[in-house]
Amino acid sequence: MHERLVPSTMDIAHALAAEGAPAGVLVVADRQSVGRGRGGNRWASADGAGLWMTLVERPADPRALGVLSLRLGLALAQALAPFVDQPLGLKWPNDVFAGDGKLAGILVEARWRDAHVDWVAIGIGINRRAPIEWPGAAAVRDGVSRATLLQAVIPRVRAAAMYQDVLTDDERAAWHDRDMARGRRVRAPGVGIVAGIAADGALLIAPDRDGIASAFRSGSLLFDDDRADILAPRTSPPL
């Protein structure tokens, strides 16, 4: 489904899923008036400035929900690599960076029926041009169309949504290769040095480089250095 202007593609996707829409239904908008990101942040998605979309999926394994944002981040980084000139990095739990600029964000919202996942709405925002009002943003190269991005992104995202169980060793290794936080000191969601991610998607933070890491499964990652405001902006890309 393509819409010219919507409040949020997430809201439309949830409504369609509640009416029985099958897995794979996609809502794309030229512009959103109240697009939202993780943590309740809101963003007005400018017309043509990016790819603003939400995909409905109906995963079979609820154990995979806890790592879905990380899997989607890996999928996006692989899909977007041909369209940027900078190395792509991942910031736990749901952001894709090109160099030091945030390129894309992910928002996953699940709806349950009793003890079973009925559907998930996967919201993705990808900058086609960096918004001037959002410091530290990045974008794909000039001239990359939304159609091109869709063709590259959707197959990988759909495949990631269907994976089962927790992260594999190969997935954790792939995250390690792109992890922007590993080895760096942070002040949230815990204080210490990031030691990587666990198989269940938790962020591992140790008090020092030789300490025992604690697992954090929620919160926002904030770096304890001068680049914190660049790498962890308070706002999120529109979804």
Residue indicated by tokens 């962020």: 203
Amino acid at position 145, single letter:
S
The predicted model scores a pTM of 0.88
Residue indicated by tokens 């940027």: 84
CA distance 46 to 34: 11
Amino acid at position 134, single letter:
W
Residue indicated by tokens 């997935």: 171
| Distance set, CA 108 to CA 39, 64, 105, 129 (Å) | 11, 12, 10, 23
Residue-by-residue pLDDT tens, the chain, 239 positions: 888 888 889 999 999 999 999 999 999 998 887 665 554 555 546 677 899 999 999 998 988 999 999 999 999 999 999 999 999 999 999 999 999 999 999 999 999 988 889 999 999 999 998 887 777 799 999 999 999 999 999 999 999 999 999 999 999 999 999 999 999 999 999 999 999 999 999 999 999 888 899 999 999 999 987 444 434 333 344 44
CATH number of 2-177: 3.30.930.10
Which is nearest to 49 in space by CA: 121, 144, 150?
A: 144
Which is nearest to 91 in space by CA: 232, 195, 198?
A: 232
Return the half-sphere exposure (C-beta side, CA atoms, 13 A cut-off) of residue 32: 29
Query: Which residues are within 8 A (CB) of 36 and not within 5 positions of it... i.e. 6 or more apart?
Result: 8, 10, 42, 43, 107, 123, 236, 238, 239
